[in-house]
Amino acid sequence: MKTFINWSGGKDSALALYKARQQHFSVEALVTTVSQVQERITMHGVRTSLLKQQATALQIHLHTVVLPDDGGINTYDELMTQKYLQLQGEGFTHSVFGDIFLEDLKLYREKILAPTKLLPLFPLWKMNGEELLQQFFSLGFKAIVVCVNENYLDKSFCGKMLDENFISHLPAGVDVCGENGEYHSFVFDGPGFFQPVKFITGEVVTKTYAAPKSDDDCFTVAQQQVNFHFCDLLPV
């Protein structure tokens, strides 16, 4: 079964890839959205040069979907549908996602695949978060935290290794896997990697984004801006 994975470069993607292969799916492509202007993985802020090194280390072909910075959800849907139809035309039959428990996101994934004949796979669906991370660690994956949402975590968490020490210091109310967008990671070694991805950590940069409006427009002025901290990883 010719399969591709929706790849962010983070821990959920890496573990979903591992589990899909355990289930005998032939994962032959990574599909990643990148910023047209920044040339980085969207949301994670990792340079595309490191993304390419990651794909080389995994020996899996990389497909990037370039998103304009001024594009909205309709642009995203259109570009992703085009990519999915292209992959279907190349003989792919299944699409892997690393979602864990967000029902609305799962439904959205299924909806965006609807115009195609591709079948979605969710290898991590409904896994217990702590058990998921213990599997991630015990399998030998290595990852670094590259982005944190200031609404959940302060700047000091950004750039730390994703390990048991990191998890033990998470504040109450933060999902251990960051499923609500609390943090994002970059996996640089582990099962399936033929070599580690080499990098050094650079500066931590803070960027402010507008929070999405709710249907009843209940956001206060103070809530309309969200700060994200990004740890820049530099290829070596």
Tens of pLDDT, residue by residue over 120-163, are: 999 999 999 999 999 999 999 999 999 999 999 999 999 999 99
The predicted model gives 205-209 an average pLDDT of 93
Q: Is the pLDDT of residue 216 over 60?
A: no
Query: Tell me, what's the pLDDT at 70?
Result: 81
Q: What is the pLDDT of residue 217?
A: 38
Q: In angstroms, rounded to a whole number, what is the distance separating the alpha carbons of residues 46 and 142? A: 16
Which tens digit of pLDDT belongs to each residue from 182-202?
999 999 999 999 999 999 999
In the prediction, which pLDDT does 211 show? 61
Is the pLDDT assigned to residue 221 strictly greater than 80? no
What is the pLDDT at residue 71?
A: 81
Query: Largest alpha-carbon pair distance within the chain?
Result: 50
Q: What is the mean pLDDT of residues 102-121?
A: 96
Least confident of 72-81, 178-187, 203-212: 203-212
Beta bridge partners of 201: 233
pLDDT attached to residue 219: 32
